[in-house]
Amino acid sequence: MYKVVLFDAYGTLLDVDAAASNLAATNRFPELAKLWPDLAALWRSRQLNYTWLRSLSHKYAPFWQLTCDALDYAMETFDLEDQDMRTALLDLYRELDAYQDARPALDAVYKAGLPAAVLSNGNQQMLNHAFAAAGLTDRLDSLLSVEDVGVFKPDPRVYQLGCDRYQVRAEEILFVSSNGWDAAAAGLFGFKTIWANRAGMPVERLPSHPDFIAPSLDFISEHLSSGAASTRS
């Protein structure tokens, strides 16, 4: 029985492609019209790669710095040198769109009588701003950041933040992520996990597999209404 539901932020509740796609839609930078999907994909992959490499080398830096570094790498790869474009992309990244299924998923957790929280690589300032802009803070009990432990996912110390914040056992936490590797690591830590497999990717070849796999966050309402939830006493 669950006592809390933790959500990953970027790619799970917040659309990481929205900065590039929304800027392309303004037609301010015509070169983005066809390029934005590739730019967004490389930006995201480098951002994640930098979290892993910095964790392995014990060189933590705020997620915002890694986000900027990853964008610089991606823009240079595609020979994009316009600093106004860079500024615009970063401004939009600070206020990413929430996925359409994010609010209903959080509503389902609320109706189940459980606290919903974010457990993210994002630094605290990023998370506070992003979720206020997305209009989701009224459904979130807390925003937990790796900043408190100085290391990124999938380090077990990150997942321990959820147990410490809510004083529950790992198996009493339901963790939801759109990243297969994140769900796998959380499962290995002891969480019950839902992988929101938005991109229809294969299961990661890792020591732990998600308990549940769904194409979106819509699965959460069905799952919690099946009796898996338990209001914390």
For residue 39 the two structure tokens come to: 């730019």
- 8 in catalytic set: yes
Q: Which residues have a Cβ under 8 Å from the Cβ of 7 and sit 6 or more positions away?
A: 13, 105, 106, 116, 117, 118, 119, 175, 176, 177
Per-residue burial over 77-113, b = 16 or more CB atoms within 10 Å of its CB, e = otherwise: eeebeeeebeebbeebbebbbbbebbbebbebbbebe
Q: Could you say which of 8, 15, 101, 182 is catalytic?
A: 8
Q: Cis ω on the peptide bond leading into residue 210 (within 30° of 0)? A: no
Q: Which of 216, 158, 218 is nearest to 185 (CA)?
A: 158
Whether the CB-CB separation of 49 and 30 falls below 8 Å is answered with no
Q: Would you name the residues annotated as active-site residues?
A: 8
